[in-house]
Amino acid sequence: MKLFVYHTPELTPTDQVPDCAIVLDILRATTTIATALNAGAEAIQAFSDMEKLMQVSEQWPPEKRLRAGERGGAMVAGCDLGNSPLDCTPERVQGRRLFISTTNGTRALQCVQNAPIVLATAFINRLATVKYILAQQPETVWFVGSGWEGSFSLEDTACAGAIAHSLQEKLDVPLNELAGNDEVIGAIALYSQWKDQLLQLFHHASHGKRLLRLDCHEDLKYCAQTDILDVLPIQKEPGVLVKA
């Protein structure tokens, strides 16, 4: 097995696909997706384009859909939800399809949608991801961070490091055999330094600061929890994620 970390969609190769792609947008799209499926959402359908989201979701009965739109950390006008995982309660999402478009995470999903296996992962469902990878044993695994508008983000890379660290321990192989690029070693080092202080790391991160300015303190606390959900969002068809 070879692991590769790509910090943003823009840095992800376009001329090949991995056996398995793990999309990370810790603050907050992949955390929200995992939370919504855990709370009983029928599926999550991701869009990079807000207009397309509105068109497609219009074909669903209002009682069976929820539109979740976020730009710059704030909710998009005309949507039912923004991008807060705390809004994805069973009362709100049970049996409904969540149509979601966010600043960064949905673009990351789109850039690897042709891979045979596409997973959406966050700290909250890290262990479910590790178990799945160990069971499936894909030869190549790409971690695709969402970053922020094309730039590196601490939280996505730390989560890639958390998963890579666990895989190395469980597979019991030397790091230089597992790491397909230097970024994997950097991600593990970042996670190892901050694993007991993830919330503090989020407070240092540029997107964490952006969310704090929007009074999303509770979101950051929730997103910093590790292994609290045993749910794994997996792509069923391009752009559509269901529980594995």
pLDDT of residue 72: 83
- Cβ(203)–Cβ(220) below 8 Å: yes
Structurally, the chain folds into a number of domains equal to 1
What is the residue-level pLDDT of the chain in tens, covering all 244 positions? 999 999 999 999 999 999 999 999 999 999 999 999 999 999 999 998 899 999 999 999 999 999 999 988 889 998 999 899 999 999 999 999 999 998 788 889 999 999 999 999 999 999 999 999 999 999 999 999 999 888 999 999 999 999 999 999 999 999 999 999 999 999 999 999 999 999 999 999 999 999 999 999 999 999 999 999 999 999 999 999 999 9
pLDDT of residue 32: 96
Name the residue type at position 14: T
Picking from 86, 96, 44, 113, the residue whose alpha carbon sits closest to that of residue 211 is: 86
Q: Which three-class secondary structure state does DSSP give residue 140?
A: strand
Q: Whole-prediction pTM value?
A: 0.96
Q: Which three-class secondary structure state does DSSP give residue 85?
A: helix
CA distances from 153 to 13, 39, 85, 87, 160 (A): 18, 27, 19, 24, 11
The domain spanning residue 73 has which CATH number?
3.90.1560.10
Domain around 206: 2-243
- Cβ(81)–Cβ(87) below 8 Å: yes
pLDDT of residue 111: 94
pLDDT of residue 74: 85
